[in-house]
Copies of this chain bind each other. A is one copy, B any other.
Amino acid sequence: MTPPDEALVDEVGRAVEAVLFAAEQPLTLADLRAYVGDEADIAAALAALTDHYAGRGVELVERGGRWHFQTAPDLANFLRRDREDSRKLSRAGIETLAIIAYHEPVTRAEIEAIRGVQISKGTLDVLMEAGWIRPAGRREVPGRPLMYATTPEFLSHFGLASRRDLPGIDDLRAAGLLDPVDLAFEAAHSEAGGPEAVETADEDD
């Protein structure tokens, strides 16, 4: 399954391994190239290293195009420190983060439309302070509202290689649950061919 170790113990492989170990931040391919040199070898070295570390106590992962080593998730019980609550998010925070991640880029008004309630300024601040969301330009509609999107740190923190890895995102998209209500309404309407679409069963009252 894994390539022979000889393939790794070449200079580039060792250098990539050392640079990633020494790095304080996840590194992109371009970052690695700046330290180690040739690009093609680096991609190969990353693949070989990923294989080599698979199943060990430490693994090599890619998060949003950036690579880093981290401990294996199943060893959390050996490592957990008593700072579990340090990043406890409020329910509003979690929902807002999920809405941004699954819909990005998204405006505050769009977030509020989904949640059915205004979001307090603090909610977005907390997410920004955590480094998980960032302003992402303005929507070209009247008022030019600011849009929000997630950051590479968001992907790293939640262990996602990319936004495509967001739990259930494909199903949600297929079910139209990431479309705005208006769009879904049109779809449901034309599909069912009329208001009969919603049977309001009231027999069990």
Residues of A within 8 A of B (CB): 2, 5, 8-9, 13-19, 21-22, 34-36, 55-58, 69, 71-72, 75, 78-81
Contacts and interface: CB of A to CB of B under 8 A. Distances in A.
Given A9-B56, A19-B78, A22-B79, A72 B14 contact: yes
A121 B54 CA distance: 53
15 contacts: A14-B57, A14-B72, A14-B75, A15-B75, A16-B57, A18-B71, A18-B72, A18-B78, A18-B79, A19-B78, A21-B57, A21-B69, A22-B71, A22-B79, A35-B78
A183 to B, nearest CB: 46
B81 A35 contact: yes
Decide if the interface of chain A is mainly helix, strand, loop or mixed.
helix
B79 A17 contact: no
Number of copies: 2
Contacts of A69: 21
A16 to B, nearest CB: 7
Contacts of A13: 57
A56 B56 CA distance: 15
Contact of A56 (B14, B36, B75, B81): B14
A9 B75 contact: no
Given A9-B55, A57-B13, A81 B34 contact: yes
A97 B200 CA distance: 67
Nearest to A45: B57
B56 A8 contact: yes
A21 B58 contact: yes
Contacts of A57: 13-19, 21
Contacts of A15: 57, 75, 78
A69 B69 CA distance: 13
Given A18-B79, A21-B71, 18 more contacts: A9-B55, A9-B56, A14-B56, A15-B57, A17-B56, A17-B58, A18-B58, A18-B71, A18-B72, A19-B75, A19-B78, A19-B79, A21-B57, A21-B58, A35-B78, A35-B79, A35-B80, A35-B81
